[in-house]
């Protein structure tokens, strides 16, 4: 597939899922942001049509390369609410640090369980294979 065609197909897939997410959000009043609904639709699309993965990757690469530019409005928005942030600094810090620590802890716990189960299965399968060969 030509590179230009890949970029066009990938851009259409990304924008189509985004705008379909907006349409679904507005018509069903889901408690999810429209962009997240669009991302979930894009995930489903990539599972159903894996051939367009390279096209989506080609069209999203420049956006991901310059992603820091997308955070400029958010950083500038912080300056609008600086007085609120200063007034609730302790609460915000506690919420951010606490939720981050909680999520990291849950992730570490789940990863250790998954890795422990995989290593036990690996040892069991290696042990069975050696017994069968004797």
Would the CA dihedral through 120, 125, 130, 134 be positive or negative?
A: positive
Residue holding tokens 């302790």? 90
Residue 56 and residue 22 in one domain: yes
Q: Tell me: do 2 and 32 sit in the same domain.
A: yes
In a shared domain, residues 18 and 55: yes
* Predicted structure pTM score: 0.58
Boundaries of domain holding 49: 1-66
Q: Is residue 60 located within the same domain as residue 90?
A: no
| The pLDDT of residue 134 | 47
Determine the pLDDT at residue 37.
Answer: 95
In a domain, 80, yes or no: no
**76 located within any domain:** no
**According to the model, what pLDDT value does residue 112 have?**
92
Q: Note whether 3 and 62 are same-domain residues.
A: yes
CA dist 25 → 31, 36, 45, 92 (Å) = 8, 10, 18, 29
Dihedral of CA 126/128/133/134: which sign?
positive
User: Is residue 72 in a domain?
Assistant: no
Residues 19 and 53 in one domain: yes
- 60 & 94 share domain: no
Same domain, 99 and 53: no
Burial of 17 (0-12, 13-18, 19+ CB in 10 A): buried
**Could you tell me if residue 15 is inside a domain?**
yes
Number of domains in the chain: 2
What is the pLDDT, as a whole number, of residue 119? 76
> How would you write the pLDDT of the chain (134 residues) with one tens digit per residue?
588 899 999 999 999 999 999 999 999 988 999 999 999 999 999 999 999 999 999 999 998 898 888 888 888 888 888 899 999 999 999 999 999 999 999 999 999 988 887 777 777 777 665 554 54
- Tell me whether residue 77 is in a domain: no
């Amino acid at each position: 597939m030509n590179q230009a065609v890949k970029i066009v197909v990938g851009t259409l897939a990304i924008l189509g899922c985004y705008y379909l997410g907006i349409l679904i959000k507005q018509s069903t009043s889901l408690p999810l942001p429209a962009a997240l609904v669009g991302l979930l639709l894009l995930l489903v699309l990539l599972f159903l049509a894996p051939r367009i993965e390279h096209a989506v990757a080609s069209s999203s690469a420049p956006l991901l390369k310059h992603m820091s530019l997308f955070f400029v409005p958010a950083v500038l928005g912080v300056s609008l609410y600086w007085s609120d942030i200063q007034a609730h600094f302790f609460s915000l810090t506690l919420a951010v640090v606490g939720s981050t620590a909680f999520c990291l802890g849950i992730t570490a716990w789940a990863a250790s369980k998954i890795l422990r189960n995989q290593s036990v299965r690996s040892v069991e399968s290696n042990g069975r294979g050696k017994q069968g060969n004797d």
